[in-house]
């Protein structure tokens, strides 16, 4: 999976980034390398959040997939 991110230079120093495809997914780092490490953790955390459990019916299945 490939995601586009927007990297910003922070006014107080360092960097912060946001992931437009995942609302609310953002992180920061004092260096670019730290930002990238934090970004992987933030994306993983944002994607692993459980949402409301969908109802199961006779014609549907609930499944999980890894990407």
Does some domain include residue 13?
Answer: yes
Does some domain include residue 35?
Answer: yes
Is residue 39 within 8 A of residue 26, CB to CB? The reply is: no
Per residue of the chain (67 residues), what is the pLDDT tens digit? 789 999 999 999 999 999 999 999 999 999 999 999 999 999 999 988 766 666 667 777 766 777 6
Q: Which domain holds residue 38?
A: 6-47
State the total domains in the chain.
1
pTM of the model: 0.70
What residues have CB less than 8 Å from 54, skipping those under 6 apart?
A: 62
Does some domain include residue 61?
Answer: no
């Amino acid at each position: 999976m490939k995601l586009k991110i927007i990297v910003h230079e922070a006014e107080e120093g360092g960097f912060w980034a946001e992931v437009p495809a995942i609302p609310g997914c953002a992180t920061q780092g004092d260096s670019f390398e730290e930002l990238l490490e934090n970004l992987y953790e933030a994306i993983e955390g944002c994607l692993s959040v459980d949402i409301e459990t969908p109802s199961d019916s006779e014609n549907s299945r609930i499944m999980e997939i890894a990407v």
